[in-house]
Amino acid sequence: MSIYGWAQIILYFLIILALTRPVGNYLYRVFEGEKKPLPRVLGAAERLAYRMVMVNEDREQTWKEYAFSLFVFSFFCVLVVYGLQRLQYFLPFNPQDFKGVPPQLAFNTAVSFVTNTNWQAYPGESTMSYLVQMAALAWQNFVSAGAGIAVAFALARGLTRKASQARGATIGNFWVDLTRSIIYVLLPLSIVGALFLVSQGVVQNIHPYREITTLEGVRQTIAMGPVASQEIIKELGTNGGGFFNANSSHPFENPTPLTNFIEMVLIFLIPAGLTYAYGRMAGNKRQGWVIFWAMAVLFMAGAAVSYYAESRPNPALAGLPLDQAAGNMEGKEVRFGVAGSTLFAAITTAASCGAVNSMHDSYTPLSGLVPLVNIMLGEVVFGGVGAGLYGMLIYAILAVFIAGLMVGRTPEYLGKKIEARQMQYVTAYILIFPFIVLITAAWSAVAPYGVSSITNGGPHGLSQILYAAGSAGGNNGSAFAGLNANTPWWNIVLAIAMLAGRFLMILPVLAIAGSMVSKKDIPPGPGTFPTEGFLFVVLLTGAVIIVGALTFFPALSLGPVVEHFIAHAGRSL
């Protein structure tokens, strides 16, 4: 550990803190404000888009219509992404002449990108043509992120609209929300950001792979591609799917400590801003800051533990004549060091991004535990664009409910009663995730076709399985990447886990929005639990930790925790 490492972590947090308000204000203006930014340019583009896709901007949808539009669009996207991969050999922008992607892998990948997971069972530079990377995968990076933001705003409307302003039981229009998130937020930021990344050394071309002769006269083939344009939206949309197999550790994706820092900022930019936008929608900014600080506390705890644990020597190298002062460098890049790597790992798993700049599989047991725990808390620590906010709001309702039980009054949130119906939806949301993860992991851990993919012995093998199941169910996409995931079992089961983890969880979210939006407002009384102070931050983080810990602690104790003790007993497997 060094003072520089801690300074980097603190600097990062301060920058996110400083950006939360302006980004939140901007998001609020785009989605809820009367005057949208840059009406001449972006406003014109927006109206043109509505005309071309035949959407009536003023027509709002009920939660069922909203969900239906989202599902129809998403499942159609799966077909398109699948088709483009299968047919890539016959399509342009394929200078390496890659053959069509095999059916199961193409299905897994299509689901993975449509669900904003970006789980990758393939190495990008030897599988996907430039066309697939640009027009299928990067395309989904935009629209799946936009869909996530849309759902967050739909839920926020459901919770915050006063009965007097509610237009019937509608919660917005999916097509409008999706279009706005792309035109006002994702695309403009991506254009600026991509050019910045290129200036730092991220490649951006559609040339064939380049053959060179090295200084010592050896041949080296160097993969190329339109990387910067994809790299930027991969972070901004918390997608995480790398152009190259090594993801953001590849110097062509992430060449300098500065790009590393900017990429980390981009991952949290929208999720953090959404908390503030939510506060404005609630008519009380403190409602947003409470959500922000609950996320911040959980995030900083993870980042600190991970940096501390990873700065220790790698136990597998104990006893060799090595100077391990720099910490565990297996699976890490020199330019980032342990601090820049563990911070990235904490961020990418807290947000459901899944980009990696170091190989989590090679982390020491306790710092490998941090990404796992972040994922298993449901990725509500800032979380994916949109997904983090709606996940945390579900926990907020749960926390209010628990507080209501303690004081013996009907719980209410933002002046709306929480009743049995809403609690059923909340319970469904909270139970679906562990159900997916634990069933997938348990089945894979006992079936020969599941176990045969693990590449590390002992408890670490179980960690690989748990991580894969959690990453898919939580729509994260990072991995203990040693796991050989390109097998029929893993491709299919993880695709199912990703679909369930996305759409089965969006369903109760939208249902809550729809059932809350037209509820009568009740003025706060003496029994109302205040949801805007320090006490609620404690209650909310407590709810997240208790639910996550009770659900996953037994499984985690058999993986990373046991491994920690084995490693420190000096055993290797």
Partner 1 sequence: MKNISLKRDLACTLLFTVLSIAVLGIIYPLCINAVSGLLFDSQARGSFTADEGGRPVGSTLLAQRFTDPAYFHPRPSAAGGNGYDAASSGGSNLGPTSEKLRRRAADEVARLRKENPHAPPYIPAELVTTSASGLDPHLTIPGALWQVPRIARARHISEERVTATVEANREGRTWGVLGEPRVNVLLLNLALDRQFGKAGQRAIMGDKRR
97 — phi, psi (to 5°)? 55, 45
Nearer to partner 1, 200 or 427 (CB): 200
Least distance to partner 1 from the beta carbon of 356, Å? 7
Which member of 167, 207, 421, 520 binds partner 1 (CB under 8 A)?
207
Residue 58 binding partner 1, by CB under 8 A: no
CB atoms within 10 A of CB 565: 11
Find the binder of partner 1 among 17, 38, 47, 209 (CB under 8 A).
Answer: 209
Instruction: For the segment 358-387, give every residue that binds partner 1 (CB under 8 A).
Output: 358-359, 361-365, 368
Binding segment (CB under 8 A) for partner 1, from list 183-191, 298-306, 388-396, 432-440: 183-191
54 binds partner 1 (CB under 8 A): yes
Q: How far is the CB of 308 from partner 1 (least distance, A)?
A: 15
Reduced to 3 states (helix: H, G, I; strand: E, B; else coil), residue 211 is strand
- Is residue 239 a contact residue for partner 1 (CB under 8 A)? no
CB nearer to partner 1: pick between 316 and 442:
316
- Alpha carbon of 389 to those of 294, 538, 561: distances in Å? 12, 17, 30
Under the binding rule (CB under 8 A), the answer on residue 27 touching partner 1 is no
Residues near 176 by beta carbon (within 8 Å), at least 6 away in sequence: 50, 55, 57
Q: Is 217 in the site for partner 1 (CB under 8 A)?
A: yes
Q: Cα dihedral sign for 233, 236, 239, 241? A: positive
Using CB under 8 A as the binding rule, the residues of this chain from 309 to 328 that contact partner 1 are 313-317, 320-326, 328
Q: Which is nearer to partner 1, 76 or 449 (CB)?
A: 76
Alpha-carbon span 76 to 137, nearest angstrom = 14
Q: For residue 458, what is the DSSP state?
A: T
Residues in binding contact with partner 1, number by CB under 8 A: 130
Q: Tell me how far, at minimum, the Cβ of 492 lies from partner 1, in Å.
A: 23
Among candidate residues 208, 218, 195, the one with its CA nearest the CA of residue 96: 208
Of residues 491-550, which lie at the interface with partner 1 (CB under 8 A)?
none
Judged by CB under 8 A, the residue of 11, 38, 44, 522 near partner 1 is 11
- Contact call for residues 128 and 138 (beta carbons, < 8 A): no
The residues, any chain, with a CB within 8 Å of residue 256's CB and separated by 6 or more, are 200, 201, 335
The number of beta carbons lying within 10 Å of the beta carbon of residue 462 is 22
Using CA atoms, how far apart are residues 284 and 295, in angstroms rounded to an integer? 18
Q: Any contact of residue 455 with partner 1 (CB under 8 A)? A: yes
Q: What distance lies between CA 133 and its chain's CA centroid?
A: 19
**DSSP secondary-structure letter at 181?**
I
> Binders of partner 1 among 393-452, rule CB under 8 A?
none
Among 117, 190, 374, 422, binds partner 1 (CB under 8 A): 190
Nearer to partner 1, 118 or 160 (CB): 118
Window 135 to 154, contacts with partner 1 (CB under 8 A):
135-136, 138-139, 142-143
Q: Which one of residues 14, 38, 44, 212 is an interface residue with partner 1 (CB under 8 A)? A: 212
| Close Cβ partners of 241 (under 8 Å, ≥ 6 residues apart) | 112, 113, 118, 120, 124, 137, 141, 234, 354, 355, 477
Rg of the chain's alpha carbons, rounded to an integer?
Answer: 23
Site for partner 1 in 245-264 (CB under 8 A): 245-246, 249-252, 255-258, 260-261
Match 């980097």 to its residue by tokens.
8
Among 27, 30, 46, 61, the residue binding partner 1 under the rule CB under 8 A is 61
Q: Is 73 in the site for partner 1 (CB under 8 A)?
A: yes
Stretch that binds partner 1, among 25-33, 189-197, 347-355, 470-478 (CB under 8 A): 189-197
The whole-angstrom separation of Cα 427 and Cα 551 is 13
Residue of 180, 280, 460, 519 interacting with partner 1 (CB under 8 A): 460
Tokens of 494: 């993880």
